[in-house]
Amino acid sequence: MSGHSTYEPKSAVGKWFESRLPIMGLIHSSFVVFPNPRNLNYFWTFGGILAFMLVAQIITGVVLAMHYTAHADMAFNSVELIMRDVNYGWMLRYLHANGASMFFIAVYVHIFRGLYYGSYKAPREVLWILGVIIFLLMMATAFMGYVLPWGQMSFWGATVITNLFSAIPGVGEVIVSYLWGGYSVSNPTLNRFFSLHYLLPFMIAGVVVLHIWALHVPGSNNPSGIEKKTDKDVLPFHPYFTVKDAFALSCFLMVYVWFAFYIPNFLGHADNYIEANAAVTPSHIVPEWYFLPFYAILRAIPDKLLGVLAMFGSIAIMVVVPWLDSSKVRSGNYRPVFQIFFWLFAINAVILGWLGSKPPEGMYVVASRICTVYYFAYYILVLPLLGLFETPKSLPASIADSVLGRGGSGSAMASGAASSPSTKG
Amino acid sequence: MATTHASASAEPTRRDFLFIATGAAGAVGLAATIWPFISQMAPDAATIAAGAPVDFDLSPVAEGQIVKLFWRGKLIFVRHRTAAEIKAAQDTDVTSLRDPEADSARVKPGKDQWLIVYGNCTHLGCVPLGNEGAFHGWQCPCHGSVFDTSGRIRQGPAPINLPVPPYAFTSDKAIRIG
């Protein structure tokens, strides 16, 4: 990966090892001397936060698996035993359950950061697509993990989501019975979900390695959207960004543990403390909060097959964003009209999430349809057309200039902001 | 696969044949290897065996009552319909339905009072609530599908009627499902 490989082992053992496996040099060039744009703001700390959350979820999850029983007759009870009998079992489970929510909060900030600053644009298309794949794997992992406690929400969530595949014409019913391993969600379903829930995080870790590899080819994008050109534009990863990432992570962890220790069930559903019952569906069934916008899109469309296609399409469309956006200017900071549409898109996504938690009737359905239309219009109409009509602000000559307030945005208003590397709060 | 020899003509060489034969054998072997990994996902022998027919005694089911039972792990409603419910189901204009089906095709001849249907909504599989909705049949709490007293879809996103499982009357007051 780029950056100067200046690493030289000092000890004889280090030299002996490095000549056989140069991994210390790789770590040194990737995470110590790696040149990052000097103007990265706190939105760029979420990559590190996400890496931490993945590790946290794997550690708590592996330990929970030592106490959990993946059987339809025993799973619910084994989770209660974790909560009551296992030493610190309550803490591990609450950290794991709330960790999933924190993981998604961080990934949504990370995704919107990329959308605002144009991080998906050339030469970072593959980096972006790898991110979309990680997001999909995260959704699959989170969904299967939510099934494992075998409560009412687990069972009916699994039923509804697996039934999405029954919308496929012709072979849908067969596919669903193959997913279930039976004629309904049952013990074989729970077993395979547990197996896959354990597997997928390691697949995520593998794609994360590719994601970081692809990142380190061009290096990070930055708030100005201009590529780094000289040494004046960059700072070494350590100590400047290790410290910044560590501070942001510490703040993030305070929120995480506050949830885990003080309101551990705030993001859950009381119905999931009732054991799964195939004869009764809870009166109000909703997915976890991080799926709500996509659930709202599913329900906005009255046709079963089209609804399912729209829901999967709402995620799949992110893959082609690098080619939908016609603007040559990367950062939203220099695109005044884009900013309006972008923030509408962000608000729209939050409203979709709220609508997903409401019953599918009356005004909620109408609003869901309007928001669904805007969701897709942003990708299919706004991004391709805006680049043709919008007049961007003039760009600074370099990252250093954008930080030091020379040129850029044509307003020369940056005096006083010169000490702040953040150009966007 | 073609060699760079200038003499390489349209005539396939022995090397071409070996290449295609090896590739074909490899593809068959790969498919044969993958198949067990796909097939193991299907319902296993025990699950299928548990799908043996079940007998159900109708005599305790009072008029107006809906009873739930399981066959092959799937929920089934047994509904003892009242005269008004039967009339409502029969008087419906079949041509106006999303999934047109006469009530007579959904019950056994002479057994109009017994409606036996699968108990999972045909949209995404939730259990509809009995005697609810505009048609007093069922209403699904998940996405709002409404079924009439014949289990036919009337409103909402479900594409088809609640299916009728295979069953037969073994006596006047007993059925065998399966």
How much is the mean pLDDT over chain A?
92
Q: Please tell me the distance from the alpha carbon of residue A208 to that of residue A90, in angstroms, as a whole number.
A: 29
Nearest residue, CB atoms, B157 vs list A159, A183, A307: A307
Decide if A179 and B41 are in contact by the 8 Å CB cutoff: yes
Among A166, A173, A179, A184, the strongest candidate for a mutation testing the B interface, having the largest count of B CBs within 10 A, is A184
Residues of A annotated as catalytic are 216, 220, 244-245, 288
Q: Is A278 on the interface with B (CB under 8 A)?
A: yes
Chain B CB contacts of A304 under 8 Å are 123, 157-159
Per-residue model confidence (pLDDT) at position A406: 65
Q: What are the phi and psi torsion angles at B88 (to 5°)?
A: -60, -40
Chain B CB contacts of A165 under 8 Å are none
Per-residue model confidence (pLDDT) at position A407: 53
The verdict on residue B3 lying in a domain is no
**pLDDT per residue as tens digits for the range B40-75:** 999 999 888 887 888 999 999 999 999 999 988 889
Per-residue model confidence (pLDDT) at position B9: 64
Determine the average pLDDT of the residues in A261-289: 92
Decide if A183 and B70 are in contact by the 8 Å CB cutoff: no
Domain count, chain B: 2
Domains and CATH numbers, chain A: 26-404 (1.20.810.10)
The verdict on residue B62 lying in a domain is yes
Chain A CB contacts of B70 under 8 Å are 278-279
pLDDT of B125 > 50? The answer is yes
Per-residue model confidence (pLDDT) at position A414: 41
pLDDT of A413 > 50? The answer is no
B107 & B151 share domain = yes
Determine the average pLDDT of the residues in A244-270: 96
Per-residue model confidence (pLDDT) at position B168: 93
Query: Which class for B23: exposed (0-12), middle (13-18), buried (19 or more C-beta within 10 A)?
Result: exposed
Q: Is A179 on the interface with B (CB under 8 A)?
A: yes
Nearest-CA distance from B157 to chain A in Å?
Answer: 5
The verdict on residue B2 lying in a domain is no
Decide if B43 and A278 are in contact by the 8 Å CB cutoff: no
Determine the average pLDDT of the residues in A12-23: 93
The verdict on residue B27 lying in a domain is yes
Q: Please tell me the distance from the alpha carbon of residue A215 to that of residue A209, in angstroms, as a whole number.
A: 10
CATH of the domain at B110: 2.102.10.10
Give strand ranges (E) for B11-133: 54-57, 66-71, 74-80, 114-118, 129-130
B27 & B97 share domain = no
B109 & B165 share domain = yes
Q: Is A291 on the interface with B (CB under 8 A)?
A: no
B14 & B61 share domain = no
Chain B CB contacts of A278 under 8 Å are 70, 73, 75
pLDDT of A425 > 80? The answer is no
pLDDT of B7 > 60? The answer is no
Q: Is A299 on the interface with B (CB under 8 A)?
A: yes
Q: How confident is the model at residue B8 (pLDDT cuts 50, 70, 90)?
A: low
Give the DSSP letter string of A86-143. STTHHHHHHHHHHHHHHHHHHHHHHHHHHHHTTTTSTT-HHHHHHHHHHHHHHHHHHH
B32 & B86 share domain = no
Q: How confident is the model at residue B4 (pLDDT cuts 50, 70, 90)?
A: low
Radius of gyration, alpha carbons of chain A: 24
Q: Is A306 on the interface with B (CB under 8 A)?
A: no
pLDDT of A418 > 80? The answer is no
A141: Cβ contacts below 8 Å, ≥ 6 apart: A197, A200, A201, A204
Q: Please tell me the distance from the alpha carbon of residue A133 to that of residue A138, in angstroms, as a whole number.
A: 9
B164 & B113 share domain = yes
Q: Is A52 on the interface with B (CB under 8 A)?
A: no
B28 & B99 share domain = no
Q: Domain residues for B15?
A: 10-42
Q: How confident is the model at residue A278 (pLDDT cuts 50, 70, 90)?
A: very high
B138 & B170 share domain = yes
For tokens 């705030």, name the residue.
Answer: A266
Per-residue model confidence (pLDDT) at position B51: 78
Nearest residue, CB atoms, A281 vs list B38, B51, B141: B141
Please give the residue that has the higher pLDDT: either A221 or A362: A221
Per-residue model confidence (pLDDT) at position A5: 62
Per-residue model confidence (pLDDT) at position A345: 98
Other C-beta atoms within 10 Å of A258: how many? 11
**pLDDT per residue as tens digits for the range A328-340:** 999 999 999 999 9
Determine the average pLDDT of the residues in A159-170: 90
Decide if B68 and A284 are in contact by the 8 Å CB cutoff: no
B34 & B95 share domain = no
Chain B CB contacts of A363 under 8 Å are none
Per-residue model confidence (pLDDT) at position B157: 84
**pLDDT per residue as tens digits for the range A72-130:** 999 999 999 999 999 999 999 999 999 999 999 999 999 999 999 999 999 999 999 99
Least confident among A40-49, A167-176, A261-270, A316-325: A167-176
Residue B107, SS3 per DSSP: coil
Determine the average pLDDT of the residues in A225-250: 95
Determine the average pLDDT of the residues in A180-198: 95
Per-residue model confidence (pLDDT) at position B5: 53
Determine the average pLDDT of the residues in A368-391: 96
Per-residue model confidence (pLDDT) at position B46: 87
Chain B CB contacts of A178 under 8 Å are 38, 41-42
B27 & B57 share domain = no
Query: Which member of B80, B123, B136, B143 is catalytic?
Result: B143
Is the separation of the CB atoms in A315 and A294 below 8 Å? Answer: yes
- In B, minimum Cα distance to A192 occurs at B41
B89 & B135 share domain = yes
Q: How confident is the model at residue A421 (pLDDT cuts 50, 70, 90)?
A: very low
Per-residue model confidence (pLDDT) at position A284: 82
The verdict on residue B5 lying in a domain is no
The verdict on residue B1 lying in a domain is no
Q: How confident is the model at residue B121 (pLDDT cuts 50, 70, 90)?
A: very high
Q: How confident is the model at residue A368 (pLDDT cuts 50, 70, 90)?
A: very high
The verdict on residue B4 lying in a domain is no
Among B99, B143, B145, the strongest candidate for a mutation testing the A interface, having the largest count of A CBs within 10 A, is B143
pLDDT of A37 > 80? The answer is yes
- In A, minimum Cα distance to B156 occurs at A302
- In B, minimum Cα distance to A163 occurs at B124
B25 & B89 share domain = no
Decide if A184 and B120 are in contact by the 8 Å CB cutoff: yes
Give the DSSP letter string of A180-222. HTSSSS-HHHHHHHHHHHHHHHHHHHHHHHHHHHHHHTT----
The verdict on residue B37 lying in a domain is yes
pLDDT of A416 > 50? The answer is no
